[in-house]
Amino acid sequence: MNLLYLTIVIPLLSFLILICLGRNISKENIIIVGISTIGLVCVLMLFVCIDYQTNTYPDTSLIYSRLLWEWFSIGDTKISIGLQLDGLSLVFLVIISLFCLLIYSFSAYYLTSSKDTYTFFAYGNLLIASLFLLVLADNLFILLLAWEGISISSYLLIGIYYHKRQVSFSAIKTFIIMSIADAFLLFGIFLVYNELNTLNIRDVLTLANQNLAIDSEIIFWITLVFLVSVIGKAGLFPFHTIFTETNIAPMPVITLLQSVMGILSSGYFILRLSPLFMMSSDVFVIMGAVAGVGLIFSSCVSLVQNNIKSLVTYINLSQISYLFFAFVIQNWVLSLNYIISYCVTSSLLLLSSAILIKICNGEQNIHKLGGLYRRYPLLYGTFLLSAASLCAMPWVMSAFYTKGDIIWALVTKEKMGLGIIALIGVLLSSLSILRLIFTVFHHKQKLTTFTPITRYSYIPLVILVLMSTAIFNYLPLPIEGIIPNVDFNTKNQLILQILLAAITILSILIAYILFFDINSEIHEISNTPIGKAFLKLWRNEWYFNQLLELVFVRPYLYLAQLIKKDPLSQWNQIINWGIRKINFQIDLLENGRLRWYMMSIVSGSIIILLLLILF
C-alpha cells in the first residue's frame, strides 16, 4: 500500500504526456499509452486489494493512512496532502478502475480520428486522477480540489469538438453549473471549519457527533449545502443539464461522464459523510422530494425523445433518483450495491447505443432506423438485456433485487408516496427503452447502407451483460464497520417482488401494443388536445430551460446591460452637467453692472440671516 499514491500519479503523468505529445504521435501509440495507463492502475489495484485483505482480515474496519507532505497551515489547523484507504475507498477504486478499463477498451475501437483519440484519453486520465484523489482524500480541502478537478476534466471532455460553437457553449454551460455545485461545497467546508475547527474527515465526523446536536440548525445548513453540491455533481434535477449538454460529445465521453463521473463522485461523498447526514432528518425529506421530482421529470421527457442520445440520457437521469431513494431510507449498503448496478446498466445502455449510432452512419433519429434485429442480433441482445435491467426483470437481473429492496424499504419506512413514484418510474423507464427497441429493431428497415464495426467492440458489452445478471448481486464488500449498517425488514417482501414483476410484464404488454408496429391509435391519442399539450410539454422538457432563461438569464442580461453603461460614471456626469449649468448662470451675472453685484450681496446676506435664524 506504500505505492498507493501511484494510482493518482500514473494517470496524471499519462495526461501530461498525451496533452504535450499527443498531436505528434500516431493513433495506435496513443491507444497504447491510454490503455497501458488504466491497465497499470488495474494491476496496482490488484496488489492493493491483496495487501489490504492480508493486513485487515478479519477486522475490515481498519484504515490505512499515509501523510505525503504538509501543504500549509491556518492558525493551528494544518492542511496536509495525505491518503486514506479503507474498505469503502477500496471498493470505489476498484469500480472506477474496472469501468474505465471497459470504456477505454471500447473507445480504442470506436474512435477513428487521431485528434479525438488523444484528447479523449488525455482528459479521461485527468478525470480518473481526480476521481482517485477524491476517493483517497483524508480531508475536505483536498476533496474540494478533486471536486474541482472533476469539473475541469468534464469541461475539457465535453469540449473535444471545441471548434463548433454549440460544443463550446455546452462545455461552458456545464462548467458553470458544476462550479455552482463546487461553490456550495466550499461554503459547506467554511461552515464545518467554523464549527469544528478541523477539515480532517475522520475528525469532522467524530467531533460533529460529540459537539453538535442532532437536527440542530447548523447541522441542517451544513448537510443542506453539501446535498446541493452533490445533486449538482450527480446531475439530478434541477442540475440535470450537465448531462443533457453532454449529448454533443462522442459516446465514450458520454459514457465516462454519465456512468462513472456523476454517480461515483456524488455517491462516494454521501457515503463517506453518512454519519454527518444521519444527524439531520430534514435533509432526507428534501432529498426524497428532489429525487421524486427528478424521477418523474426525466421519465416523462424520455418517453417522447426521438434522438437516441437524448432518450438514453434521460433514462439514465431517471435511474439516479433510485440512489437518492436509497439514501433517504439510510440503507448505505444497499446504496453502494445500487451504485454498482447503475454503473453496469448505464454503461451497457450507452455503449450499445454507441454501436447503434456507429453502424447507422451517425443517424440518431429512431424513426429513421428500423429492421435491425435480424442484421445485428448481438446488438439486439445487448439492448434487450439493458431493457431487462431497467425493467428490473424478476429474479434474473441484479436490478430486480436492488430496486426492489429500495422500493420495499421505502414502503416499510412509511414513505409510501416515494415508493409509488419509484414504481411509476420503473413503468415509464421500461416503456421508454422498449419504445426505442421496437422502433429501431422491429419497424420497417429504412437505411440501406451500414458502417461495419469490429466484433471486438462487443467484448466490453458482453462483460457488462454478465455483470448485470443476478449472479453478481450483493457481492461481499469490505465495508463492515466503515459505513453504518441498518437492519432490513424482508418480511412479506415477496408481495412487492410479485408486484414489481407484474409492473414489468405490464410495461412489456403496453409497449408491445403501442410501439411494436406503427399504431394509428398512437396518432389519434397524440392528436387530442390533452395529448398535444403533454407532448409539447415533455418535448420542451417541461419548459425548464425557458423558466431558467426567464428567472436567471434575462435578469442577468438586463443587469449586465446596466453595468455596461456604468451607472456610477453616469451619475458623475449628471453632477458635472449640473455644475456647468450653475456656473453658466453665474457667469451671466459677471456683466460689469453695479446693481447686479449689490443685488447679489444683499441676496446672499438675506440667505445667511435666514439660515442663522432657522438653525
pLDDT at position 52 is 85
pTM, two decimals, is 0.87
pLDDT tens for each residue of 485-529? 777 677 777 888 888 888 888 999 998 888 887 777 777 777 888
Gap between the Cα atoms of 302 and 431, Å rounded = 9
Cβ–Cβ under 8 Å, residues 271 and 483: yes
pLDDT of the residue at 597 = 75
> pLDDT band at 186, cuts 50/70/90?
very high
What is the tens place of the pLDDT at every residue in 399-451? 888 888 899 889 888 889 999 999 999 999 999 999 999 999 998 888 888 99
Q: How confident is the model at residue 58 (pLDDT cuts 50, 70, 90)?
A: low
What mean pLDDT comes out for the span 148-167?
87
Q: Is residue 110 scored above 80 in pLDDT?
A: yes
List, for residues 4-33, the tens digit of each pLDDT value.
888 999 999 999 999 888 888 888 889 999
φ, ψ for residue 66, nearest 5 deg: -145, 125
How large is the average pLDDT for residues 302-326? Answer: 93
**Gap between the Cα atoms of 571 and 573, Å rounded:** 5
Of 256 and 313, more confident = 313
In a 3-state reduction of DSSP, which class is residue 407? Answer: helix
> Which residues, 6+ apart, have CB-to-CB distance to 449 below 8 Å?
361
**Confidence band for 59, pLDDT divided at 50, 70 and 90:** low
Contact predicate 481/60, CB 8 Å: yes
How far is the C-alpha of 535 from the C-alpha of 123, rounded, in Å? 38
pLDDT score at 61: 62
- Other Cβ atoms within 10 Å of 191 Cβ, number: 17
Helix ranges (H only) for 137-280 are 140-158, 165-196, 201-211, 217-234, 241-244, 251-255, 262-272, 274-277
pLDDT > 70? residue 370: yes
Q: What angle do CA 262, 324, 143 make, to 5 degrees?
A: 45
List the single range of 117-126, 278-287, 494-503, 534-543 with lowest mean pLDDT.
Answer: 494-503
Which string of b and e fits 1-28 if b means at least 16 CB within 10 Å?
eeebbbbbebbbebbebbbeebeeeebe
Residue 72 bridge partners (DSSP): 79
